[in-house]
Structure 1
Amino acid sequence: MKIDSSLSAVVTGGASGLGLATVKALRAQGVKVAIFDLNEETGEKAAEETGAVFCQVDVLSDESVDAAFAKARAANGQERVLVCCAGGGNAIPTARRNKETGAVDIFPSDKFEWVLKLNTVGTFRCITRSAAGMMTLDPIDGERGVCINTASAAATEGQMGQAAYSAAKAAIVGMTLTIARDLARENIRINTIQPGIFATPALMKAPQKMLDALGAMVPNPARLGNADEYASMALEMVRNGYLNGETVRLDGAIRMQPR
């Protein structure tokens, strides 16, 4: 798919990190972009900085997502590109014994469910709405649109305490090919990026010693990933019309250790 000013795109989680880098890369090519994000302050700031449209959205809510797509399409027209970067997690052991009291605590089910709803269901909720909109368009060069998801190295090598996050991201990987098959007749592609350790704003709050150690874990190049590198991969997934139903690791060949 040709990336130019004729395209409209939606980027969830687009106010910071991987999402914001993708917004900037799309805008640099003239694409009309709508930023979907829960944080109004950072979302408005990102929109002003990039010339995008901000739509405040909670991906846990059907009504919120529907309203955001309506606003985005009113401003930019029907999107042909969806990039899903919204997500998050927690770090809670499956079961843990208190070293002092001997009491056993378990991972609360509601906190496990929240991570799956945010990452997996939230991503799927946006895909269904976007795909339905893309299906109203005529194909251009045989394509109606493309969706790009964000998984994580945790999908295959989750570290201790990441049971919920690993499950949520593994589900995104697992549904990618199935959705590609579902949408094949409509000429809509879908792919997933599986990032390793990236220098996102949240991670960069960690002590420098920890950041240096994380970077040293990466075989080559021995550093954290840059958000621009994620954005570059996302744009290639848009451009390359033969790339479909794939999950691509973007991690410097790292394989995560237990902790």
Structure 2
Amino acid sequence: MEIKGKKTVVFGGASGMGRASAELLAARGAVVAVLDRPESAGAEVAAAIGGSFHPVDIMDFDGTERALATAVDSLGGLHISITTAGGGSVRRTLGNKGPHDLETFRRILDLNTVATFNINRLAAEHMSRNEPEDPDTGERGVIINTSSIAAFEGQIGQVAYSAAKAAIAGMSLTMARDLGSFGIRVLAIAPSLFDTGATGKISEETRAALVRDAAFPQRLGRPEEYAKLALAIVDNPMLNGQCLRLDAGQRFGPR
């Protein structure tokens, strides 16, 4: 799909990989709406790229539907949806204080899997109304979600996060099959450790230890490297129905 002129929403676009994606898409000529928490830097990011900001709490599923509808109205349509918003927790299935509580497990799945699916189902409906970019291919839209290599090599204490991110990876092919007749592609990106707000306070010594088992380069990923892959996905119509690792050849150990 040609990026220039395409109407794009980025959930989690106020920081990290989402911000880098919004900035790079705008630089390539896309029209971008940033959706993020009300207290985020979303308004500043949107203003800097000539886009619009729409505050949203993705855990408010009805509110997400309204925010997305408002964003699509302001854009005049929707071709690209990128979701980087999410989060995790650190609790073992069974620890010194007893079994993992269900409330936290459900919250992590709601924050990652359910919220992502909610965004996807709504974005797909908006995309389905597009005229195909190319009558020969019938392409109408691209959905990009964010998984994690923890989906495949979850570490001790990541059971909820791993389950949530594995679900995002796992629904890529099925959703791509569901939406193929509409000309909508679906992919997920599974990053390793990236230099975002969650890792910003980690010391250099700890950073080096965290990426020691990466093949090359042995460093945290950079948000713009996620953005570059997202744009490559949009650009290449043969990419569909899979979860792409972005990890410098790293495989998480148990700890």
User: TM over 0.5: same fold?
Assistant: yes
Checking the alignment, whether the CA contact within 8 Å between 1:204 and 1:211 is kept in structure 2 is no
CA contact (8 A) 2:208 2:218 kept: no
Corresponding residue SS for 1:92:
coil
Per-residue displacement from partner, 1:29-78 (whole Å, max 9, x unpaired)? Answer: 11111111114341112222222211111112232112111221222111
Residue 220 of structure 1, CA deviation: 0.8
For residues 111-122 of structure 1, the aligned pairs below 5 Å read 111-122=104-115
How many Å apart are 1:177 and its aligned residue?
A: 0.3
2:195 to 172, 178, 199: 199
Matches within 5 A, 1:179-194: 179-194=175-190
SS in 1 for 2:152: helix
C-alpha RMSD over aligned residues? 1.1
User: When the two structures are superposed, what TM-score results if normalisation uses the length of structure 2?
Assistant: 0.96
- In the other structure, the counterpart of 1:101 is none
Displacement of 1:205:
1.2
Aligned residues: 252
Query: Matched residues in 2 for 1:196 and 1:113: separation?
Result: 23
Whether 1:176 aligns to 2:172 is yes
User: Could you say what secondary structure the match of 1:83 adopts?
Assistant: strand
Matching of residues 132-143 of structure 1 within 5 Å: 132-141=125-134, 142-143=138-139
Query: What's the % identity of the aligned pairs?
Result: 43
Cα distance per residue 1:64-122 (max 9 Å; x no partner): 1121112212221111000110100111111112xxxxxx4221100000000010000
Inter-partner Cα distance in structure 2 for 1:204 and 1:40: 19
The one-letter amino acid paired with 2:50 is G
Hey, what's the Cα distance between the residues in 2 that align with 1:212 and 1:160?
A: 20
2:211 touches 2:250 (CA, 8 Å); kept in 1?
A: no
1:63 aligns with 2:62: yes
List alignment gaps of at least 5 residues for structure 1.
98-103
Residue in structure 1 matching 2:100, options 104, 107, 111: 107
Distance in 2 (alpha carbons) for counterparts of 1:8 and 1:143: 14
Q: Alignment partner of 2:116: what SS? A: helix
| Equivalent runs, 1:1-259 vs 2, <5 Å | 1-4=1-4, 6-97=5-96, 104-141=97-134, 142-259=138-255
User: Quick one: distance in 2 between partners of 1:51 and 1:159?
Assistant: 40
Structure-1-length-normalised TM-score: 0.94
Supply the distance in 2 between the matched residues of 1:222 and 1:160 (Cα, whole angstroms).
Answer: 22
Larger CA deviation: 38-47 vs 139-148: 38-47
In 2, the alpha carbon distance for the partners of 1:86 and 1:258 equals 25
2-side partners of 1:109 and 1:70: how far apart? Answer: 32
2:14 and 2:40 in contact (8 A); partners too: no
Mapped partners of 1:216, 1:255: distance in 2: 10
Q: Distance in 2 between matches of 1:200 and 1:217?
A: 20
The alpha carbon displacement at 1:203 in A equals 0.5
Measured in 1, the distance between the counterparts of 2:50 and 2:105 equals: 37
Amino acid at match of 2:240: N
Runs of 4+ in 1 over 3 A off after TM superposition: none
Letter in 1 for 2:242: E
> Which consecutive unaligned segments of at least 5 residues does structure 2 have?
none
Contact preservation (8 Å) 1:218, 1:224? no
Q: Report the Cα offset of residue 128 of structure 1.
A: 0.5
* Matches of 2:24 and 2:158, distance apart in 1: 31
- Supply the distance in 1 between the matched residues of 2:131 and 2:123 (Cα, whole angstroms): 15
Displacement of 1:208: 2.1
Partner Cα distance (1:67, 1:138) in 2: 23
2:250 and 2:117 mapped to 1: Cα distance? 27
- 2:168 and 2:212 mapped to 1: Cα distance? 28
